[in-house]
Amino acid sequence: MFILAYPAVMAGGLLIAPIMALAAMAITPLRPASWRSVNRNWVMVPAGLFLVWASLSFLWSSHDDPQQIPKLLFGVPLYALFAYRVGQQSGIWRARIEAALIFFAFGASLFFFFEAMTDGSATKAFKTGAEGLSGAAHDIQFVVNRSLGHGVAPLLLVGGPAVLLSWQKGGPLLGGILAALVLMAAASFEMQVNAVALLAGTLGMAFAWFFPRQTVAITLGGLAGAVLAMPLVLPNLIGLIPEGAREVLPLSWVWRIEIWTFASETVWQSPWFGHGLDASRNFQADIEIPGYEVSALPLHPHNAALHVWLETGLVGAGLLAIALIGLGERLNAAKSLTKFQAMAIIWVVLVYASLLLFSYGAWQEWHQGAVALATTAVLLLRSGKSV
């Protein structure tokens, strides 16, 4: 899976989810005895109910394509199963998985280094030659950067745990080289959200170095609070932005602010149960930003908390918040938690939260698969003294 993830991120990351789902089905234990050793926790209940509620909300959605339902009900459990089964390996197979993980991180980082140095020449050649992309040079470069920027997201999620694992196996030099390559990838391709995610993950890891358990619990609890408060707090925060500051923001961020404003207002049209799964795709409204007329809600709100509120209401947001709090409690209480694991957990949580709260939709399966890859890497960091 880690080896196949390398060409998958070169193509933008979308292939990660189907490959991982197939891999998880291939390693699903069939004997009942295999499931008796699974450590069940109450956090699985609200998490499972959240997936079920989101799927049930399709019943009152204006969107008529139910393809998201199997992706939620079967895809997410399969990604979790993959992370658990692979992350629990030991002996020679664990060593092989660790080697494949480090190969993926270095291979993907070097590919993005090459693309950053050549203005995406390989991706541009593929899209213009194989896919027939044409148009003005600026428009082609935008599509190339968008594909490469999306591909960097899985690398970012896996990057923190991979750096720590490289440090464990090869020393500070190996880990430092990989960290520099991941940093360059995050700062390239004109996708600012990747740089924001890297900054958040780095600061979180620094806190986790000194206060590992406390940082894990506070971060997940704070994230749960952010999910619940998002439609209340975000409009007020937007209102605090001075008009002059908006004028110097990149156009994509100006558009995003308008999307968040529209989505926050739309939430209150159906606050308890939401508008239904994928209903965001059916909202038709146009807004004005400097020089352009654009969609007020292009596919989703580009903020996962607003996305959950908009489509599943307070019930969905509440279940998700309870699951996050439970996960924080479970991780904080884990007796075997190591410092490197705590740092890796914080990295994955903050990077993923940044990507979801500033850019991506809540239901996109490709980044769910990428989180499972990163979770697998976290589980492989279990050697060392517990904190």
Q: If 0-12 CB within 10 Å is exposed, 13-18 middle and 19+ buried, where does residue 94 land?
A: middle
Token code pair at residue 261: 């404003």
Q: Are 175 and 154 in contact (CB under 8 A)?
A: no
pLDDT at 77 over 80: yes
pLDDT above 90 for 253: no
Token pair for 291: 């020089």
Determine the pLDDT at residue 150.
93
pLDDT band at 244 (very low <50, low <70, confident <90, very high): confident
Convert the pLDDT of each residue in 341-386 to its tens digit.
999 999 999 999 999 999 899 999 999 999 999 999 999 997 667 7
Residue linked to tokens 């020089």: 291
Residue 270: phi, psi to the nearest 5?
-150, 70
Q: pLDDT of 299-351, one tens digit each?
A: 899 999 999 999 999 999 999 999 999 999 999 888 889 999 999 999 999 99
d(CA 72, CA 365): 8
The mean pLDDT of 272-286, rounded to a whole number, is 92
What pLDDT was estimated at residue 382? Answer: 79
Return d(Cα 387, Cα 209) in angstroms, integer: 10
**Mean pLDDT to the nearest integer, 237-242:** 87
Q: What is the pLDDT of residues 142-199, one digit of tens each?
A: 999 999 999 999 999 999 999 999 998 888 899 999 999 999 999 999 899 999 999 9
pTM of the model as a whole: 0.95
Percent of the chain whose predicted confidence (pLDDT) is above 90: 74
Which residues of 35-186 form beta strands (DSSP E)? none
Q: In whole angstroms, how far apart are CA 92 and each of 89, 95, 162? A: 9, 5, 19
pLDDT recorded at residue 252: 82
Residue 175 sits at the vertex; the CA angle it makes with 186 and 359, to the nearest 5 degrees, is: 20
Q: How far apart are alpha carbons 169 and 153 in whole angstroms?
A: 24
Q: Mean pLDDT throughout 273-277?
A: 97
pLDDT-wise least confident of 131-145, 243-257, 290-304: 243-257
Give the residue carrying structure tokens 């082609």: 140
Residue 45 pLDDT grade (very low, low, confident, very high; cuts 50, 70, 90): very high
Q: Which two three-digit tokens encode residue 342?
A: 């705590």
Task: Measure Cα distances from 155 to 107, 112, 123, 311 in Å.
Answer: 10, 10, 17, 29
Q: Is the pLDDT of residue 48 over 90?
A: yes
Q: How far is CA 31 from CA 34, 36, 137, 167, in A?
A: 6, 10, 57, 38
- Per the CB < 8 A criterion, the answer to whether 152 and 160 are in contact is no
